[in-house]
Structure 1
Amino acid sequence: MATNRTGSASEFEQIPDLPEEKRLGRLKIFFGYAAGVGKTCAMLSAAHEEQKAGIDVAAGYIESHHRPETLILLKGLELMPPLEVTHNGILTEEFDLDRAIRRRPDLILLDDLAHINAAGSRHKKRYQDISELLRAGIHVYTTINVQHIESLQDVVASITGISVEERIPDSVFDSADQVELVDIEPDDLIDRLNKGNIYPDEEAQRANAHLYIKEKLTALREIALRYTANQLNRIASHIGTQVKTNEYYAKDHVLVCLSSAATNKKVIRTAARMAEAFHGEFTALFVETPKTQKLTQKNKAELRANFRLAEQLGAQIATVYGEDIPGQIAEYAKASRVSKIVVGRSHNKKKWFAKANLADKLTASAPNIDIYIIPDTQPTFYKRFPQYVSYPELSLADTAKTTGILVVCTLIGLWFNYLGFREANIITVYILGVLLNAMVTGGRLYSAVSSVVSVLVFNYFFTKPYFSLQAYGSGYPVTFLVMLSASFITSTLTMRVKEQARQSAQKAYRTEVLLETSRKLQQAKDTTAIIHETAQQMVKLLDRTIIFYPVQQDSLSEPLVFLKEESAVDPQEFSGGNEQAVADWVYKNNKRAGATTDTFSAASCLYHAVRGGDCVFAVAAIAMDKEDPLEVFEKSLMIAMLGECALALEKEMLNEKQKEISIQIQQEQLRANLLRGISHDLRTPLTSISGNAGILIGNSKVLSEEQKKGLYTDIYDDSMWLINLVENLLSITRIDNGSLNLNMQGELLEEVIAEALLHIHRSSIDHMISTVLDEELLMAKMDSRLIIQVLINIVDNAIKYTGTGSHITVSARRDKEMVSVEISDDGPGIPEEAKAKLFDMFYTADNIRGDGRRGLGLGLSLCKSIVTAHGGTISVKDNVPQGTVFRFTLQAVEVVVHE
């Protein structure tokens, strides 16, 4: 049963997840020169052959037109139910993309590649549905006629007299893995039409009969054959360049000039065919001028459509800013090594004293570049019709400024006249006034008025007869004309300088935004900061609400909304469930979507993937609801910002991976050291324990009590060594994992030291151990259990590495806000080169313990970790005249005496 959809909001229904594998589907196009050549039948026949070979085939959508041969070939194939879409009360059937992705056959058949989907569908065009199927790993067979190729539209329309709306970009056709030309003789095609095999309806047959004329069909057939041959040449050329990677050849670079004219599409298509024919690069250039802002909404929409067409035909879009259009185009062409420039030219007749048109100026500015002029019916950049004329805006402030300047100039002129100055000096004052007026007022109207009024005022006050607009002198008309011309020229040059300054300021602002974005992203410390800085810069540039969806653990996280200033918009309006569904689609497909695009066009935001290659780091959304579409330059800057953001996020991701690798390397080194220590250093005490136990078991009757006691003592000592080692390992593990909870309390140092000395190695009886405290009631803030372990480790070290009878002193004293604890001995000391590494894990000095063993190097490392956790420091120094002093500090606690 067909699924019913009502309204445009239905396009946001649950989107099926794409397959995890990265395998892409293959596209085969059955290509014809006219309807009725047998494309659909050829596709269905090929599908039956694939089905016989064991391929899972499904017919997604087939236009049978009730043709008997087509209906016969549909038998035996699975027909997928169509999707019913209701829009404005009209029910239409469309291909069900979601059902196809869930069904996931090996091969799907789809008629009419250039079909425009009904309003409310996810994509505007069927070729976009097919692109999503291919990304899902599903192979597609489809059909198309020659008149539906974008770059051939003008040529085909000149033959048939009909311009079709359903067209596909050439890049879609070029990306096909296989193209099969379905050919038939024009006479046979006309015979099929007459027999009713193409249009069973007689009325439709009569309506299309004018297309089935042998001359027209022959021309269309020739175009189809040539286009198919070109496609085969492209494939062969691509293979050849892959084989001969070291062969160098200079490519042509074709530049097309974009405009807001509707007929500019013809120029773009011609340039695309030229770039294809010359196998060269293709660039579309737009020169933005101050007049761009004065275009009507209709022409702005036409300009955006021309940009989109150029992108679809494979052009690299470039935008420059300036008032001299030919000069900007020529400079860009020289810098980019353009070999051919394609422009449009109107059919307007050239008049006397008319300005040179764009093509003539380009020829003069770029004499070494081939310029191709395509006949055009409209001006290249903008039309001089009333709807483009912006009426001057009157301002009370500018009117007052103009009046004030004229009054001041007149007063100065009267003063000069009173002093007997010549009229030339007074004229200079008025010209200076016109210049000043152009600087302080906005628009050309006030400058023009100031120029004319200045001449009239000069005539009224300073020429005979005075206080009238008559002039008796024969030279006065020339004087007036020169004065008026000088005023106009001065004001015009001043206005031009102001406009250039404004343009420079605008370009500097936009450049500063990019530089500021790059600088802030470099200073950002993590992913959140990078996204925050990028969003803030986008809000600053576009003055729109920005939403970011960061990618975390292979899925989009909760949206981050950045509202524009003084915005009273509810963030949920732009980040609800429907909008998040679009963002999720953009993330999975790595394509833009949303408002002003052909995918999810009913969305409130425009969605762009923040990507580095095929990896998407985030999805950025620009609120477009009730807002005008992005301007050309704004869009290019926004894309540049997102590119900078992607680079920063990719760098951050690589840094995180590098940190993880470093941690893994450290963990591996720790593991290796532990294994080394356990396998080598633990062997000695374990061997001793097992050996002594074996002696006791086998010779218990022979051994004397003194010998048994010695063996028991050795077993006990080795066991205690192992127990202390395990305790140190467990403590280090707890500290490294952050699971060590400190129970900080004020403790008396005398009691803590005494408790530690009770648990030191029993061989301490062979050494002189003493305790020295500066104060009887000396207290420090500590976890006594851990500090006792520190004291035991350090004192045991002194016992193990000093000779019998050595003196070991544990002392403590107050040092301002800290308590300093020192353990000194008079043993052989520690080499200077060993002191720097003494507290490193698994480091052991060269000296050998008294029992001949070498420790694992964990005790002092553990001491450092514990003291650092207490907020203190630990160090080692030489004991004068001989020995070593270990020193660590703890936070002092005042002793409270209760009376």
Structure 2
Amino acid sequence: MAIHQIDSEYSPGRLSAPPVEKRRGRLKIYFGYADGVGKTCAMLHDAHEVRKDGIDVVAGYIEPHDWPETAALLEGLELLTPLEVSYKSAISKEFDLDRAIRRKPELILIDELAHTNAEGCRHKKRYQDVEELLCAGIDVYTTNNVQHIESLNDVVASITGIDVSERIPDSVFDSADQIELVDIEPDELIERLHKGNVYQERSARNLPTIFTREKLIALREIALRRAADQVNRISLQNCEQIQNGGSYANEHILVCLSSVPSDAKVIRTAARMADAFHGTFTALHVEMPEISAAANNQTQINEHLRLAEQLGAQIATVYGEDIPGQIAEYAKVSRVSKIVMGRSNHTNKWFSKPTLVDRLSTLAPNIDIYIIPDSQSSFHLGLPKYTKSVKFSLADSLKTIGIFAACMLIGLWFNSLGFSEANIITVYILGVLINSVVTRGQIYSVISSVVSVLVFDLIFTEPYLQFRVFSGGYPVTLLVMLVSAIITSTLTKRVKEQARQAAQKAYRTEVLLETSHKLQQAGDELEILSETAQQMAKLLDRSIIFYSVQENALSEPMVFLKEGSAADTQVYFREDERLVAEWVYKNNKRAGATTDTLSAAKCLYLAVRGKDRVFAVSGIVMEKEARLGVFEKSLVIAMLGECGLALEKEWLNETKKQITMQAQQEQLRTNLLRGISHDLRTPLTSILGNAGILVSNSEILNEEQKTGLYTDIYDDATWLIKLVENLLSITRIDNGTMNLDLQPELLDEVIEEALLHVSRRSAEHVIETILGDELLMAKMDSRLIVQVIINIVDNAVKYTPAGSHITISAKKDGQFARIEITDDGPGISDAAKTKLFDMFFTADNISADGRRGLGLGLTLCKSIITAHGGTIYVKDNTPQGTVLGFTLLAEEVDVHE
């Protein structure tokens, strides 16, 4: 797998924080049953009303009908300059989406929601422009007619006789925050038409056929019912939110798809039914294993799948030759309550056979089946209208000729041995069976069967070398042989195709399971993306691109080329491709090749999302490649979902670590402030008091008393200085800003230097040094090790009574030098030993001067020794006391110096 990555600042394992969730805009649709009811005027009138309340309103795009009333209402509103798009030597004016987003008003007015944009615009449909505006936090007022709703298209077409090509998915209409029905009487609308208030360029005789009283009444009824359904849906949703209830019902509507054009009507009917029952909607396509669909049929199936997706259906695909059996089995497993399908009105004049509905009723008697009749050919039992592509290849032709020649030689040999004709027929049937196994096209098996029958009749039946098979039992024998040959070849081909499909499904399932397993073991973001890309490339046999999200922006692309690909990766680093990926990241929607958004891109870009944020963008190279199948698309979405969950889990772990670190820092700050407020108060108060006595009573104090006060001030100041030095040293070490200057040093000299700076109270103790070798050297930063020895000795002096013995010893221990400070004081409890080197830990016993301290000295010692690559430890001294020791890397003495 070739991996190309260009990202100089990429840091694996660090997922950026998600962007702050933006407010989503609100959508209001002015809904009518025909042109001329006053939708645009109502929208403009409401815009003026909200503008009076201080709302920033912009007219994004209003259809230029040159109506005086519309022009009057546009006065006083800011009109956005339209985008001029040149296409086929013509200039088309379209809504300028980028200009609107840059302007970013509070409310924007856009006419004709179902409009199809000209070539060159970002989106194919205007409702997609509106969706992007809503995602940008801009409220939208728009207009739409009943004939432009996808699920009502066939119903309206049956009334008006006009098939409207500009339509919006039902999901867009249903997701509107407010629907305002703009309604007038049909007679009043017709009067407007005759006065030229709707179509000024048309005369009363040249009006569309839709404008008859009967048709307008029917359209008005449909619009009223659709608006009422929307109000009812919103009311039910609000009630459900208040009651915290579940779904409306457990209805599951299943629509069966085929390549028949009339299935579009079936899909829309099923969508309306699912909407009416508030149920789940699934579209099922049964693929035949032994038949390959023609290009036009496959295109029709893809259109039906796309329509079902637009209407909110979940797409499912099953494989098998028994169509009703596959549908019934899927319906039982998926708990389908209602099945919707089309039925042809054509009947077979010669013989009748069970239809799909009859078989399905028998196999699934407990499921309601709804039949949508149509005059066109529709889905029925038997094979759909597929065309078999006949393809000849030289290799398969040579195989067929070779097998046939072998059968002829064996037949002649059997004939010379006196074998019966039944044995010779078996040889030819076996040859046909072998031919069907080793060749790809069924045409070779059919040709082999027919030629075998003719050759057998010509060579092995009397009269020889003549086609005379009408005597005796030869006709029956030849017919049986021909039928047997065709059946065996057909069954063999079917088994091979089923085995191929089973292996393909098993492979795809294995890839999906393998992806889940690898993502669970991935250690950081880069590894998660890499594993996902490699699995996608393996599944699709296409090159994959990934953009990770770093600091709320896309990183440089990571390209994962498919096996054997020698493509120029620079084409995927172009600015136009990156802009598509950025659009996907910002809008959390798919875009690019094979979509209606930025379709000129070379890749199909999909968002890798978690629960409510986008963690990365994936690109699938589609250049010169066929579009993804339904099953492949489902697997890709599942893989990206697994990737999104893994990235979200990684982000949550990183967030948890940051929260834990912040809690620790907060605890550290609290302890430090508590220590400063308590432990520093005593020496500061002492210094202040002693200084005050010296200032106020200097004349009455003798020299001995003054010396005592000076000594106390000096001791307290020294204690404070050491405390501040410890704090600063710990900060530098933890931040990584302290640079160690490691040099070979004599331990004798380092210990001697440290004893010069220990506490003055050390004179009350007996301190001795024992060295196993006076020339013992260790690699160290001497100034830091001096501070370690001072802290440990001061600790021993502080917590042991006067007159105690303190011993500093150093000896060679393998490749290390071991330094130990031993005392014969009261010792340390076992519980305290486990926390002795923790920050802000102080033992229960109080020092001789009554100061507990902040508990930073031994913590600093541990940090310094760890930075040197050594270890620090504590243990009991025998028979009494404590041993504090540490190790440093020993250095050999060069005797030649």
Unaligned runs of 5+ in 2: 1-18
1:128 correspondence with 2:128:
yes
What displacement does 1:383 show? 11
User: What is the CA–CA distance in structure 1 between the aligned matches of 2:346 and 2:438, rounded to whole Å?
Assistant: 39
2:252 alignment counterpart = 253
| 1:360-439 aligned within 5 A | 360-376=358-374, 377-380=376-379, 388-396=387-395, 398-399=396-397, 401-402=399-400, 434-439=432-437
| Helix, strand or coil at the partner of 1:811 | strand
1:726 correspondence with 2:724:
yes
User: What is the CA–CA distance in structure 1 between the aligned matches of 2:465 and 2:88, rounded to whole Å?
Assistant: 73
| 1:478-877 aligned within 5 A | 478-877=476-875
| Helix, strand or coil at the partner of 2:209 | helix
User: What is the CA–CA distance in structure 2 between the aligned matches of 1:78 and 1:67, rounded to whole Å?
Assistant: 18
What displacement does 1:798 show? 2.0
- Residues 387-432 of structure 1: CA deviation (Å, up to 9, x unaligned): 8321043352x45555555666677777777888776666666655
Say if 1:72 and 1:246 are closer, same or farther in 2 by CA, change over 3 A. closer
Give the letter for the 1:206 counterpart. R
1:139 correspondence with 2:139:
yes
User: What is the CA–CA distance in structure 2 between the aligned matches of 1:785 and 1:351, rounded to whole Å?
Assistant: 108
User: What is the CA–CA distance in structure 2 between the aligned matches of 1:579 and 1:311, rounded to whole Å?
Assistant: 26
| Helix, strand or coil at the partner of 1:607 | strand
| Helix, strand or coil at the partner of 1:211 | coil
The structure 1 residue matched to 2:311, chosen from 310, 313, 330, is 313
TM-score of the superposed pair, with normalisation by structure 2:
0.91
Contact 1:767 1:808 in 2 (8 A): yes
- Residues 68-95 of structure 1: CA deviation (Å, up to 9, x unaligned): 3333333343333222221122011122
Contact 1:607 1:621 in 2 (8 A): yes
| Helix, strand or coil at the partner of 1:787 | helix
What displacement does 1:626 show? 3.3
State the Cα RMSD in Å: 3.1
Contact 2:343 2:380 in 1 (8 A): no
Contact 2:258 2:301 in 1 (8 A): yes
User: Bigger shift: 24-33 or 84-93?
Assistant: 24-33
User: What is the CA–CA distance in structure 2 between the aligned matches of 1:139 and 1:807, rounded to whole Å?
Assistant: 83
| Helix, strand or coil at the partner of 1:848 | coil
User: What is the CA–CA distance in structure 2 between the aligned matches of 1:495 and 1:331, rounded to whole Å?
Assistant: 24
1:4 alignment counterpart = none
| Helix, strand or coil at the partner of 2:568 | coil
Contact 1:27 1:141 in 2 (8 A): yes
1:74 alignment counterpart = 74
1:194 correspondence with 2:191:
no
Give the letter for the 2:59 counterpart. A
Contact 2:248 2:278 in 1 (8 A): no
Give the letter for the 2:753 counterpart. E
Say if 1:460 and 1:819 are closer, same or farther in 2 by CA, change over 3 A. farther
User: Bigger shift: 685-694 or 161-170?
Assistant: 685-694
1:162 alignment counterpart = 162
Give the letter for the 1:643 counterpart. G
User: What is the CA–CA distance in structure 1 between the aligned matches of 2:469 and 2:77, rounded to whole Å?
Assistant: 98
| Helix, strand or coil at the partner of 2:255 | strand
What displacement does 1:646 show? 1.1
Contact 2:770 2:809 in 1 (8 A): yes
Give the letter for the 2:817 counterpart. V
| Helix, strand or coil at the partner of 1:137 | coil
User: What is the CA–CA distance in structure 1 between the aligned matches of 2:41 and 2:635, rounded to whole Å?
Assistant: 49
| Helix, strand or coil at the partner of 1:388 | coil
- Residues 164-197 of structure 1: CA deviation (Å, up to 9, x unaligned): 1111112222222222322233233223222322
User: What is the CA–CA distance in structure 2 between the aligned matches of 1:247 and 1:894, rounded to whole Å?
Assistant: 78
Contact 1:259 1:382 in 2 (8 A): no
Give the letter for the 1:766 counterpart. E
Say if 1:318 and 1:887 are closer, same or farther in 2 by CA, change over 3 A. same
User: Bigger shift: 86-95 or 213-222?
Assistant: 213-222
What displacement does 1:791 show? 1.3
Identical-residue share of aligned pairs (%): 68
Contact 1:460 1:466 in 2 (8 A): yes
User: Bigger shift: 794-803 or 383-392?
Assistant: 383-392
User: Bigger shift: 521-530 or 287-296?
Assistant: 287-296
1:234 alignment counterpart = 233
User: What is the CA–CA distance in structure 2 between the aligned matches of 1:881 and 1:470, rounded to whole Å?
Assistant: 122
Contact 1:261 1:381 in 2 (8 A): no
Contact 2:585 2:617 in 1 (8 A): yes
User: Bigger shift: 502-511 or 552-561?
Assistant: 552-561
1:97 alignment counterpart = 97
Contact 2:252 2:279 in 1 (8 A): yes
User: What is the CA–CA distance in structure 1 between the aligned matches of 2:640 and 2:378, rounded to whole Å?
Assistant: 35
User: What is the CA–CA distance in structure 1 between the aligned matches of 2:362 and 2:381, rounded to whole Å?
Assistant: 21
Give the letter for the 1:272 counterpart. A
Contact 2:292 2:386 in 1 (8 A): no
What displacement does 1:656 show? 0.9
Contact 1:62 1:110 in 2 (8 A): yes
2:119 alignment counterpart = 119
User: What is the CA–CA distance in structure 1 between the aligned matches of 2:760 and 2:817, rounded to whole Å?
Assistant: 28
Say if 1:531 and 1:381 are closer, same or farther in 2 by CA, change over 3 A. farther
| 1:256-267 aligned within 5 A | 256-267=255-266
Q: Which has the higher contact order (CA 8 A, sep 6+)?
A: 2
Contact 2:547 2:556 in 1 (8 A): yes
Contact 2:340 2:371 in 1 (8 A): yes
What displacement does 1:434 show? 4.7
- Residues 259-302 of structure 1: CA deviation (Å, up to 9, x unaligned): 33333211111111111222222122233444686431x44333
1:12 alignment counterpart = none
Contact 1:801 1:849 in 2 (8 A): yes
Give the letter for the 2:174 counterpart. D
What displacement does 1:492 show? 3.4
What displacement does 1:485 show? 4.1
Give the letter for the 2:743 counterpart. Q
Give the letter for the 2:830 counterpart. E
Say if 1:719 and 1:491 are closer, same or farther in 2 by CA, change over 3 A. same
User: What is the CA–CA distance in structure 2 between the aligned matches of 1:155 and 1:240, rounded to whole Å?
Assistant: 31
2:13 alignment counterpart = none
User: What is the CA–CA distance in structure 2 between the aligned matches of 1:322 and 1:740, rounded to whole Å?
Assistant: 71
What displacement does 1:657 show? 0.7
User: What is the CA–CA distance in structure 2 between the aligned matches of 1:210 and 1:246, rounded to whole Å?
Assistant: 48
| Helix, strand or coil at the partner of 1:630 | coil
Say if 1:766 and 1:73 are closer, same or farther in 2 by CA, change over 3 A. closer
- Residues 203-233 of structure 1: CA deviation (Å, up to 9, x unaligned): 5x43325332222222222222222222222
- Residues 490-549 of structure 1: CA deviation (Å, up to 9, x unaligned): 443333322222111100111111112112211111112212222222222223332222
Say if 1:383 and 1:338 are closer, same or farther in 2 by CA, change over 3 A. closer
Contact 2:262 2:378 in 1 (8 A): no
Say if 1:810 and 1:423 are closer, same or farther in 2 by CA, change over 3 A. farther
What displacement does 1:97 show? 2.3
TM-score of the superposed pair, with normalisation by structure 1:
0.90
1:6 alignment counterpart = none
What displacement does 1:655 show? 0.8
- Residues 312-350 of structure 1: CA deviation (Å, up to 9, x unaligned): 212222333444433332222112211111122334432
1:278 alignment counterpart = 277
What displacement does 1:482 show? 4.1
Give the letter for the 2:683 counterpart. P
Say if 1:171 and 1:785 are closer, same or farther in 2 by CA, change over 3 A. same
| Helix, strand or coil at the partner of 1:251 | coil
What displacement does 1:871 show? 0.9
